[in-house]
Amino acid sequence: MTAPRLDVDLDLVTHNTRSLVDRLAPRGIRVTGVAKATLGSRDVAAAMVLGGASGIGDSRIENLARLRAAGAAAPLTLIRSPMLSQAERVVRTADVSLNTEAVVLAALSTAALHQVVTHDVVLMVELGDLREGIATVDVVDLAGVVAALPGLRLAGLGTNLACRSGIVPDQDKMDQLSALVELVEARVGRPLTIVTGGNSANLDWALGTNDVGRIDELRLGESILLGTEPLHRQPIVGLRTDAFTLVAEVIEVQTKPAQAWGATGQNAFGDTPLRGGPGLVRQAIAAIGRQDVDPDGATPPDGMTVLAASSDHLVLDVGDHDVAVGDEISFRLDYSALVRAMTSPFVSTSRVTRPAIDPVPLDPVPLTGGAA
């Protein structure tokens, strides 16, 4: 096998999606599977759809274009506000886009007229996290503008919290979004069909509340892919945290002093490294580095510790593990490490299968195939 590589267990992606879909469906909430951390992988998107995701979202139009070209039949949503310069491409590629800017909406309208299609628009509302979003006082007016633009259909409202500032999506925030939905419906005179309440950070609220209000969709990436929730980075009960494994090859194993010697300046990344103290370390170097993974988000097997990372080397204390040159070491990844690994041209991906996980009933809806 080539190294470094990312081993992807698609059954676990499907399992995690199914588990979340089954828990949210009784609450009237659909799941859009967010594929952006996997570079818009067709196989991962298909695994999400197999698990019951009602559509696929991605922040990059290039990723959605790849899914579209692969014959994706599920609705595709661009979850980052479109670039003005990409309006034509967004309308051609995405069924839905999340928006905040009138000038972009005008360009999407022109593009939709040009392509003789209807493009669905969700307006994103600023509820305190201070990333994308329209001020609440401006939402109804902008909704009126969208409703009047030819080629566009105002599909709904959404919000995104816990991304820039870690603001928690709680009952109060979701109630504000629901209240705005009612105001917009009164203004445009028809019901909205998408009320997308947020990302994996919304799961605590969505699974705990007894009043989801008008929220009928969540956009889930991290929880599906890694089985964790972003507010406290804890595993979610019933989900698998091992769908993705990064594998690197060992290129040196030596016993070395824990303490470096000589006059000490900064290392290659501008840190002044901590001296290691007395004693010896059984140290291995894995042929992977900051170009390929966020070393802070890569967890080696129990009993090993990451000591340091440069662009191309990951230095590990391998403890009592029996490690030799040429061996492979597997790492669990957090979201940041997964994104870096997926986007490194040096890391290949491979599908792995394991013995069947607990038998969840699957509802085979192929992402690829005749329907597109």
Measured from the CB atom, is 109 or 199 closer to ligand PLP? 199
- Shortest Cβ 204–ligand PLP spacing (Å): 12
Site string for ligand PLP, 225-264 (x = CB under 6 A): -----x----------------------------------
- Shortest Cβ 79–ligand PLP spacing (Å): 4
Measured from the CB atom, is 198 or 295 closer to ligand PLP? 198
Class of residue 353 by CB neighbours under 10 A (exposed 0-12, middle 13-18, buried 19+): exposed
Q: Which long-range contacts link 355-362 to residues 24+ away (Cβ below 8 Å)? A: 356/11, 357/11, 357/12, 357/15, 357/240, 358/15, 360/14, 360/15, 360/18, 360/19, 362/14, 362/18, 362/50, 362/51
What three-state secondary structure class fits 20? helix
Among 51, 197, 221, 297, binds ligand PLP (CB under 6 A): 221
Site string for ligand PLP, 313-332 (x = CB under 6 A): --------------------
Q: Is 160 a binder of ligand PLP (CB under 6 A)?
A: yes
Nearest 5°: CA angle at 27, between 22 and 29?
Answer: 75
State the residue number with the nearest CB to ligand PLP. Answer: 221
Q: Is 16 a binder of ligand PLP (CB under 6 A)?
A: no
Residue 121 corresponds to which tokens in the numbers above?
Answer: 């628009």
Q: Is 99 a binder of ligand PLP (CB under 6 A)?
A: no
Among 6, 64, 220, 248, binds ligand PLP (CB under 6 A): 220
Strand pairing report for 328-333 and 298-299: antiparallel
Among 97, 200, 228, 283, binds ligand PLP (CB under 6 A): 200
Question: Terminal CA-to-CA distance of the chain, rounded, Å?
Answer: 35
The CA distance from 44 to 244, in Å, is 11
Query: Token match 């969208």: residue?
Result: 146
The site that binds ligand PLP (CB under 6 A) totals a number of residues, namely 14
Sign of torsion over alpha carbons 333, 294, 335, 7: negative
- Shortest Cβ 288–ligand PLP spacing (Å): 23
Stretch that binds ligand PLP, among 69-77, 216-224, 251-259, 316-324 (CB under 6 A): 216-224
Binding site for ligand PLP (CB under 6 A): 34, 36, 59, 79, 160, 199-201, 219-223, 230
